[in-house]
Amino acid sequence: MKRALTLLGLVACLSAGAGNPALANPPSGPSVPSAPASAAVGAQQFTLSNGMQLIVQPDRRAPTAVHMVWVRVGSMDEVDGKSGVAHVLEHMMFKGSKELAAGEFSRRVAALGGRDNAFTSRDYTGYYQQIPSNRLEDVMRLESDRFANNQWPDDEFRRELEVVKEERRMRTDDQPRAALFEQLYATAYTASSYRRPVIGWMKDLDAMTPDDARAFFRKWYVPSNAAVVVAGDVDVAEVRRLAEKYYGSLPAKPTPERQTQAEPEQKQLRRITVKLPAEQAFVALGFKVPGISQLETLGPQDKDALALLVLSEVLSGYSGARLERALEQGPNRVADSAGSSASVLARGPSMFMLTGVPAAGKTAAQVEAALRAQVARVAREGVNAAELERVKTQWIASNVYERDSVFNQAQGLGSYWSMHLPVDAEERLLQHLRAVTSKQVQDVAARYFGDRQLTVATLDPQPLDPSKPRRPESASEQPLH
């Protein structure tokens, strides 16, 4: 799997609806584009009178704005038996308030010349509108009403729950690789809430009630657990005034306590086989690794997590990277595709993933061995200066291109906020990544890829039913919601 990684893509590893990073070749040569003269200035963060956060990123290049509300709650905050409720509630937020009937919210945004949507992940839930900047006050009025006064009849809940169940069937049950990843996480984690899928287990969806969603809303949708993010052609002082008017006036409520479960140390390799109708076998290796907890003063685990990000990009971050050359090319090729990812920015535990699709005549076991051999090679020999420089140059260039999108700016700011990181997290992250050395990459390759950190999931393809139409497999190696 070849991809060009943006810094926002690092955060999006667990984000909702993010899909796969763009399939593209890295910039050719070492030159890095300069930021436009009219590029955005630094973001500013404020605390509203009720504890809600406001983050504003001015960017005057076009008369548009993105308005987002982020709630620091996701599937990791659910309890056993109630999996999927965070995502179901996201759907229900479009089903009415004291002021609006079901579906009216999106119709009004469209009438303003905008578009809107929402997303749920393990770590957060977000709602956004992309509108002409002179319509910002209108969407703030709409969104603040929905945030404070979401309500709907029981029949509306039951109808929408069936929509969510069908979404689960389409995106997981009928997608062999998505089903495999779901089982991998359920096997790798025994205590952490990351073992539950964002979409929810079907048995939990079957048992879910309207009051489950209402209780989740009342508990978590409080000002002190949310942030408003605005990016685009806006004036900071005016946005702050509007935010106080529409959001700061909402009643302050205490932030609920979080019940997080520490994951016990894994003692040995875990292995599962998933038998489903599919055209090709597939193998995924998930290694438990440290994550990034803060970016101001790096601790040992933060430094290791950054080196793991670099390792992942050395392995598969550009066209012709190590996994492609070693596994996908030549007369002895073993894989049709191979890739890596390092999900190290999250509120919960982190995982480094290696994946592969066996070539014709090759087995999943051969791909598994070949993937591990490439990491072992880095542990023995390190990485050369040219590889390291290419990855870092690509990050710098991607960071500049990413800022061309007002939506990406807002998405990044909200994602970092949800991880308790500062508004300048992207700049700090880039600075730290540029400082990673070949020795650090070699060191993490040697320390974090043993059997005791590993869960292997193998898709054993079963015959397809010719009478049943197949939905195409997502382009994403790892399903994201």
Query: DSSP for 138-153?
Result: HHHHHHHHHHHHB---
Q: pLDDT band at 468, cuts 50/70/90?
A: confident
Domain at 44-248: CATH architecture:
2-Layer Sandwich (3.30)
Render pLDDT for 201-252 as a digit per residue (tens, 0 to 9): 999 999 999 999 999 999 999 999 999 999 999 999 999 999 999 999 999 9
Render pLDDT for 73-101 as a digit per residue (tens, 0 to 9): 999 999 999 999 999 999 999 999 988 99
Render pLDDT for 307-361 as a digit per residue (tens, 0 to 9): 999 999 999 999 999 999 999 999 999 999 999 999 999 999 999 999 999 999 9
Q: pLDDT band at 467, cuts 50/70/90?
A: confident
Closest CA to 99 of 69, 142, 137: 142
Query: Annotated active-site positions, please?
Result: 90
Tokens for 79? 């309890």
Domain ranges in the chain?
44-248, 261-462
Say whether pLDDT at 475 is over 90.
no
Q: State how far the Cα of 151 lies from the Cα of 118, in Å rounded to an integer.
A: 17
Least confident of 2-6, 229-233, 457-461: 2-6
Radius of gyration in angstroms for the set of CA atoms belonging to the chain, rounded to a whole number? 23
> What was the pLDDT predicted at 220?
98
CA 284 centroid distance within chain: 18
Least confident of 20-29, 98-107, 340-349: 20-29
Classify the C-alpha dihedral 187-190-195-196 as positive or negative.
positive
Residue with more model confidence, 481 or 143: 143
> What was the pLDDT predicted at 396?
80
Residue 293 · residue 419 · CB < 8 Å: no
Query: DSSP for 358-409?
Result: EPTT--HHHHHHHHHHHHHHHHHH---HHHHHHHHHHHHHHHHHHTT-HHHH
Q: State how far the Cα of 296 lies from the Cα of 416, in Å rounded to an integer.
A: 13
Give the class (CATH, top level) of 261-462: alpha beta
> What was the pLDDT predicted at 466?
80
> What was the pLDDT predicted at 469?
65
**Most confident listed range (137-151, 385-399, 403-417):** 137-151
Mean pLDDT for 127-152 is 97
Phi, psi of 64 (to 5 degrees): -130, 165
Mean residue pLDDT across the chain: 89
Residue-level length of the chain:
481
CA 337 centroid distance within chain: 22
> What was the pLDDT predicted at 41?
67
- The answer to whether domain 44-248 and domain 261-462 are alike in fold is yes
